[in-house]
Amino acid sequence: MFFIMGVTPGRKQLPFSQQGICPVCGRMARFEIRMDCYCLTLFFLPVFRFRKRYFLTSTCCGAACELPAGLGKAAERGEADSIDPLAMHFTAGTPQPKRCPACGFEADPSFQFCPKCGARL
């Protein structure tokens, strides 16, 4: 008898959305909370999640900051009402992908042309 098990990184988007001004780029943004964790899997099914970390991210520039565990757990239960983004310590995030105007493909931000249809981004 053998077991197929392992530990894989996981990411889950939590049911939280709030609008406000991004403290990094100054644009109007939607703020979302995500949970990063590690999952113990048995036969490719997640059994146990551990090392949970919660992040508040902005959708405009990808800036993120880590939330305290208590606030993150409240958001996971759906009890978080609002969060003041100006009170958080954001770091600049990864650039958001460019969307092709012709075909809608999401390309890397460094691309000048769409790799799918060749249109200028």
pLDDT (0 to 100) of residue 93: 61
Q: Where are the beta strands (DSSP E) in the chain?
A: 5-21, 28-42, 45-58, 64-66, 98-99, 106-107
Angle at 51 between CA 80 and CA 90, to 5 degrees: 55
Whether this prediction's pTM lies above 0.75 is answered by no
pLDDT (0 to 100) of residue 30: 93
Please identify every stretch of the chain with a pLDDT value under 70, giving residue numbers as ranges: 1, 92-96
pLDDT (0 to 100) of residue 92: 66
CA 83 from centre of chain = 16
Inter-residue contact 111 to 118 (CB < 8 Å): no
pLDDT (0 to 100) of residue 54: 94
Angle at 41 between CA 10 and CA 5, to 5 degrees: 135
pLDDT (0 to 100) of residue 81: 83
pLDDT (0 to 100) of residue 90: 81
